Structure formats: C-alpha cells, structure tokens
Amino acid sequence: MSEFQRTFDSKVWKVVCAIPPGQVMGYGEVARAAGFPRYSRMVSRAMSRCPEALPWFRVVRSDRTLAFEEGSESYREQAQLLKQEGIRFEGKKIVEQPREDNLDRILWGPQDW
DNA sequence: CCCTTGACTATCT
DNA sequence: GAGATAGCCAAGG
C-alpha cells in the first residue's frame, strides 16, 4: 500500500467521521474538505476499504443519489441506514433540508416518514 | 510503458 | 430531466 494511499485514506476517514447524523456529503465535497480537490474517485476508493465503524453511508453522489447500483444489497443497506437518521428520499434522490429546519428533528428525534 | 478500472463530476444535448 | 461525453487520477495488470 502506497504512502499516498495511507495518508489520503486517514484524512478522508477523519472527514467522514465528522459528518453529523442526518446529514450527507458528496464524494467531491469530502475530497475538498480533506484537502484533495478533484479526488472524488479516490474518495470512493477509500470508502471501499473503510473501517467498519465509519459512517460510510453518509457519503453520496453530488446529485444526491446513492452510488451503488439500484436494488443491490449495498444500496438497500445505505438507504435504510440513512432513513434511520431521518433522511427522506424523493425517488432516488435525498431530500436535503435547510439547516434551520432541523429543529423538528432535534425536538422530536428522527422520524420515519 | 500503455490500458483499463472505478461507491465520481461538470457540462452539453 | 435523462443520456452521452469529457475530464479526473491513483492503482493494478
């Protein structure tokens, strides 16, 4: 495993760890936040070998769809984990709420509607 | 080296 | 909006 790969992975994982529950980030956003703009494909690589404990499911495509093949086991798992955090879908796309609308979730906890 | 492969993206039809 | 297309870039064959 190359030196680059190890340092890159650890920085990416640190960013992913910091994504709060109920929120998602794009591959490109994570790459930028980790200090590697244009490395979205590398982020996907890092995710494929991420530690079990990492909230990998909070990383999605820039268009807010899931990166796995629709209907695959991984796809269903990710969708389920996100829904458990109160994230809703509009078809294949995640519905992102403005920050201030999160008061409901803070007061009432994750809802499954 | 050259070519292909991705849990990707921005842009153009 | 949904495809197609061009960039993207390390890794592995």
Q: What is the pLDDT of residues A14-67, one digit of tens each?
A: 999 999 999 999 999 999 999 999 999 999 999 999 998 999 999 999 999 999
Distance CA A113, CA A99 (A): 19
Total domains present in chain A: 1
Determine the nucleotide nearest to A57 by Cα–C1' distance.
B7
User: The pTM is what?
Assistant: 0.88
- What's the whole-number mean pLDDT along residues A76-88? 97
CATH number at residue A93: 1.10.10.10
Cβ contact A38 with chain C strand, < 7 A: yes
Distance A1 CA to B1 C1' (A): 21
Q: Which domain holds residue A103?
A: 3-107
Distance CA A105, CA A7 (A): 36
Determine the protein residue whose CA lies at the shortest distance from the C1' of C10: A42
3-state secondary structure at position A3 = helix
